[in-house]
Copies of this chain bind each other. A is one copy, B any other.
Amino acid sequence: MESIRRRVHEIIFEADTALGRAFDIFILVLITLSVGLVMAESLTPYNGALQHYFYYAEWGFTIIFTLEYGLRLWSVNKPWTYAKSFYGIVDLLAIVPTYLSLLFPGAHHLILIRALRALRLFRIFKMLEYVDGANMLLRALWRSRHRIAVFGFAIVIIITIVGALMYVIEGEEHGFYNIPYAMYWALVTITTVGYGDVIPQTAAGKMLASLVMLLGYAIIAVPTGIITAEVMDEIIQGRNSTNTQHCQNCGAIGHLDDARYCRKCGASLDVEHDPQRELL
C-alpha cells in the first residue's frame, strides 16, 4: 500500500519518469480542452443542441480533476501543506465552480480559473530559465511590496479626494452621479485608461482633470521606478555571486555551492525534489 502511494506520488507530483511526464502532459491537455470548451460555450446560442454536450464534457473534466485532487491529497506526505500551497489552492478552485453551478447556474464560467493550473507547464518541460525568470520577477515584486503598498494607499487617498472635488464641481447633472462613481472616473483618468464614458463638462472640471492627468503622468513613474530598481538589483547581484541559489522562503542569497538549506531561515534549497515549496 505504501509503495503504491509512493508510486502515485512520483507519477502525479514529479515529471522525471516517463509515466510522470505523460501524466502531466495529459492533465495539461485536459486543462486546455476544458478552458477552450467554456469559451466556445459562451460563443454559442443558448438551448442549442451543443449545450448538452458542453454540459456533459464539463462534468467529465470536473470529475477527472476531482479524482486527481483526491489522489494528490492521498499520496502526498503532508496533505495540509499541499492544500495550503499555491498549487493546492488552484487545484481546488479549478473544480469548485462546477459543483457551485448546481446552486448558482452562472458560476460554472469561473472554471476558467483552471487556466492557472497551466503554470505547471514550465516545470513539466523543465524550462528552468523560465522558472528562474518567474522567480526573479516574484522576488523583485515581493521585495518591493512595502513601497508598492504605500504607493497603492496614496493612490486610494488621492482618488478619494479628487472624486469628492469632482462631485462638488461637476455634480450629478454632468454624469458624476455620486462620490464612488466620481472616484471611478478619477481612477480611469489617473491610470490613463480614459474610457470617455464620463467626462468633465465645466471649465473648472476640465482644469481639475488636467491636474489629475499631469499627476497620473508623473506618478505612473513611481511603481516603474520601484520595480526597475529591484529587477536591476537582482541582475547585478546575480552577476556578482557565483552561487545563484536563492532561498524560496526568505529570498536570501550567497549560499555555498554545497548548501542544501538556507543559511538564513533553514528552508530547503533543493527546489527540484521539493515541488510543493515552489512559488511557481
Residue A134 interfacial (CB < 8 Å): yes
Question: Is A197 a contact of B199 with CB atoms below 8 Å?
Answer: yes
Counting every copy of the chain, the complex holds 4
Residue A43 interfacial (CB < 8 Å): yes
List 5 contacting pairs A-B, 8 Å CB cutoff, sorted by A: A39-B178, A137-B150, A189-B193, A194-B195, A224-B224
Distance in Å from the Cβ of A12 to the closest Cβ of chain B? 22
Residue A221 interfacial (CB < 8 Å): yes
* Residues 190-219 (chain A) with a chain B CB within 8 angstroms: 191-197, 199, 203, 206, 209-210, 213-214, 216-218
Question: Is B147 a contact of A222 with CB atoms below 8 Å?
Answer: no
* Residues 213-265 (chain A) with a chain B CB within 8 angstroms: 213-214, 216-218, 220-236
4 closest A-B pairs by CB:
A112-B164, A193-B194, A225-B228, A133-B146
Residues of B near A136 (CB, < 8 A) are: 147
Q: Which of A225, A227, A231 has the most CB of B within 10 A?
A: A225
Residue A118 interfacial (CB < 8 Å): yes
Interface on A for B, CB 8 Å cutoff?
A: 35, 38-39, 42-43, 106-107, 109-113, 115-116, 118-119, 121-122, 129-130, 132-134, 136-137, 140-141, 146-153, 155-157, 160-161, 163-165, 167-168, 171, 178-181, 184, 187-189, 191-197, 199, 203, 206, 209-210, 213-214, 216-218, 220-236
Residues of B near A116 (CB, < 8 A) are: 157, 161
Question: Is B157 a contact of A118 with CB atoms below 8 Å?
Answer: yes
Residues of B near A228 (CB, < 8 A) are: 221, 224-225, 228-229, 231-232
Question: Is B149 a contact of A35 with CB atoms below 8 Å?
Answer: no
